Chains A and B, each alone.
Chain A
Amino acid sequence: NAGVTQTPKFQVLKTGQSMTLQCAQDMNHNSMYWYRQDPGMGLRLIYYSASEGTTDKGEVPNGYNVSRLNKREFSLRLESAAPSQTSVYFCASSGHGIYQETQYFGPGTRLLVL
């Protein structure tokens, strides 16, 4: 039981390049989330998926797109990376059993945009 996994762990991009951050969970959770964390700040929600087949914007969605590929996987895409998107990206999932709101986080993807 790996929990929430994210790939890649690190990535360096040039301005204007695109990339997709992958996230997968093996806990049979219904909901999945993408957050970003800038240095010295708390996490901010980018997008979330309450259930398979649905996605919704969070606090800071501009510049990102998401795909809920199936119940296990939720990807985050940067179509044209900008230096302002340099951050650590965390994926999370929730929604099984009694504590349906408790979120479990992955280890993060560290992204540097030059």
Chain B
Amino acid sequence: DAKTTQPTSMDCAEGRAANLPCNHSTISGNEYVYWYRQIHSQGPQYIIHGLKNNETNEMASLIITEDRKSSTLILPHATLRDTAVYYCIGLNAGGTSYGKLTFGQGTILTVHP
């Protein structure tokens, strides 16, 4: 699975968009980009994933560059409850690393009032 690189921490004002970057320059053609978050003391929560196209769901949007070497998770209107550690993960779905998520250090997002 691709190694991902994320900033250690980011701040965001409540109500503003939070844009969390992720570099995955070694990602292969059949690897998905997954985003999870972990609110303090809770189990990780799935947010969104994508392969090539941009994706949007009720929680967030995922923008993947055309060369697939990086992506950005967008929380359009951040709230205090979005304060969490955000993990960007490359996953070779269905391959030999079937389902085995590799969690790095992630980005600590702090949303301020």
Question: B residues within 8 A CB of A31?
Answer: 98-99
Chain A residues 61-114 with CB under 8 Å of chain B are: 90, 92, 94-95, 99-108
Assuming A42-B106, A48-B99, is B49 touching A102 (CB within 8 A)? yes
| Distance between Cα atoms of A92 and B94 in the complex (Å) | 17
Q: Which residue in chain B gives the minimum CB-CB distance to A94?
A: B99
Binding site for B on A (CB under 8 A): 4, 31, 33, 35, 41-45, 48, 50, 58-59, 90, 92, 94-95, 99-108
Question: B residues within 8 A CB of A106?
Answer: 43
Q: How far is the CB of B4 from chain A (nearest CB, A)?
A: 11
Q: Which residue in chain B gives the minimum CB-CB distance to A6?
A: B43
Binding site for A on B (CB under 8 A): 32, 34, 41-46, 49, 87, 91, 93-94, 98-106
Which residue, A58, A102, A104, has most C-beta atoms of chain B within 10 A? A102
Assuming A99-B49, A101-B32, is B42 touching A45 (CB within 8 A)? no
**Which residue of A41, A90, A102 contacts B43 across the interface (Cβ within 8 Å)?**
A90
Q: How far is the CB of B88 from chain A (nearest CB, A)?
A: 11
Q: How far is the CB of A83 from chain B (nearest CB, A)?
A: 21
30 A-B residue pairings within 8 Å (CB atoms): A31-B98, A31-B99, A33-B99, A35-B103, A41-B105, A42-B87, A43-B44, A43-B103, A44-B103, A45-B102, A48-B100, A50-B98, A50-B99, A58-B100, A90-B43, A90-B44, A92-B43, A94-B99, A95-B99, A100-B93, A101-B34, A101-B91, A101-B99, A102-B34, A102-B46, A102-B49, A105-B43, A105-B45, A108-B41, A108-B42
Q: How far is the CB of B98 from chain A (nearest CB, A)?
A: 6
Assuming A42-B87, A42-B105, is B98 touching A105 (CB within 8 A)? no
Contact between A42 and B99, CB atoms less than 8 A apart: no
Question: A residues within 8 A CB of B87?
Answer: 42
Q: How far is the CB of A12 from chain B (nearest CB, A)?
A: 17
Contact between A104 and B46, CB atoms less than 8 A apart: yes
Q: Which residue in chain B gives the minimum CB-CB distance to A31?
A: B99
Contact between B42 and A107, CB atoms less than 8 A apart: yes
